[in-house]
Amino acid sequence: MNILISDEAPVGFGLSMTVPQGFSRDLLTVELVAALRESLVATDSLTQIWIEDAQMDDDKLLNSIGFSSYRDLWQMRCKFPPNGEGIATRPYICGVDDEAFLEVNSRAFSWHPEQGSLDLSKLDDLFKEEWFDDEGFLLLEVENRLAGFCWTKVHHQSDLTVGEIFAIAVDPGFSWKRFW
């Protein structure tokens, strides 16, 4: 197994590691402990571990060496297009919607070290990503104010096109409101 150590840890972490698909669970704790020892990260900093194709017992393995769960990412699939009637959205306009989006994003993700710290420079970097498509970045406005957004990514794989929700949020000031 090759544990991948990111060159740049996300905000709030000293180290970020990814355990790729197909790893041996028998060797996981040994290899993680070795990778942690070899890293040059301060002992009091947080380490983030992503496990691709995680299984239920992986939490127990990581708990045994001092880690605790703080969030899970799930891959769920459905056929599209679903019925989107009743909610009027519009595509994001780069350079026009930046400020309103960053304000809502900051409030909605105040608890999230990476997404909540998104600034204009990082946003511009995301717009340059191969997967960025402004038609997949939808805004919901209520009473001429940005109330929420849904930002998607589409991955074009060899025989399958898979979409993912990159970020979805409602401004906490609108969290009480029903939109349809």
Question: 53 lies in a domain?
Answer: yes
Whether 133 is covered by a domain: the verdict is: yes
- Same structural domain for residues 120 and 57? no
Point out the residues of the chain with pLDDT beneath 50.
Answer: none
**Is the same domain home to 47 and 120?**
no
Bridge partners of 145, per DSSP, are: 142
From the number of C-beta atoms within 10 Å of its C-beta (0-12, 13-18, 19+), residue 119 rates as exposed
Please tell me whether residues 150 and 115 are part of one structural domain: yes
CATH number at residue 120: 3.40.630.30
What's at 3, amino acid-wise?
I
pLDDT in tens, 43-71: 667 777 777 777 777 778 778 877 777 77
The reply to whether 111 falls in a domain is yes
- DSSP character string of 88-138: --EE--TTTSHHHHHHHHHHHTTT-TTGGG--HHHHHHHHTSTT--GGGEE
The domain containing residue 108 runs over which residues?
90-174
Same domain, 50 and 95: no
**Would you call 137 exposed, middle or buried from its count of C-beta atoms within 10 A (0-12, 13-18, 19+)?**
buried
In a domain, 79, yes or no: no
pLDDT of residue 85: 66
> By C-alpha distance, which of 57, 77, 85 is closest to 179?
85
Structural domain tally of the chain?
Answer: 2
Query: Do residues 129 and 137 touch, judged by C-beta distance below 8 A?
Result: no
User: Of the candidates 47, 63, 79, which is a domain's last residue?
Assistant: 63
Does any domain span residue 179? no
So what's the pLDDT on residue 80?
60
Listed in sequence order, the DSSP H helices in the chain are 28-38, 58-63, 98-108, 120-127
> Would you say residue 74 lies in a domain?
no
pLDDT at 104: 97
Contacts of 67 (CB under 8 A, 6+ apart): 47, 49
**At how many degrees (to 10) do helices 98-108 and 120-127 cross?**
110
**Cα separation, 143 vs 46, whole angstroms:** 42
Domain annotation covers residue 80: no
* pLDDT for res 137: 96
Same domain, yes or no: 169 and 99: yes
Q: Is residue 143 part of a domain?
A: yes
112 and 37, same domain (yes or no): no
- pLDDT of 94 reads 94
- Output the pLDDT for position 83: 61
Tokens of 20: 């790729």
Asked if 36 and 105 sit in the same domain, the reply is: no
- The reply to whether 46 and 101 lie within a common domain is no
- For the record, the structure tokens of 153 come out as 């990514």
- Token couple for 169: 């949020």
- Residue whose structure tokens are 């041996």: 24
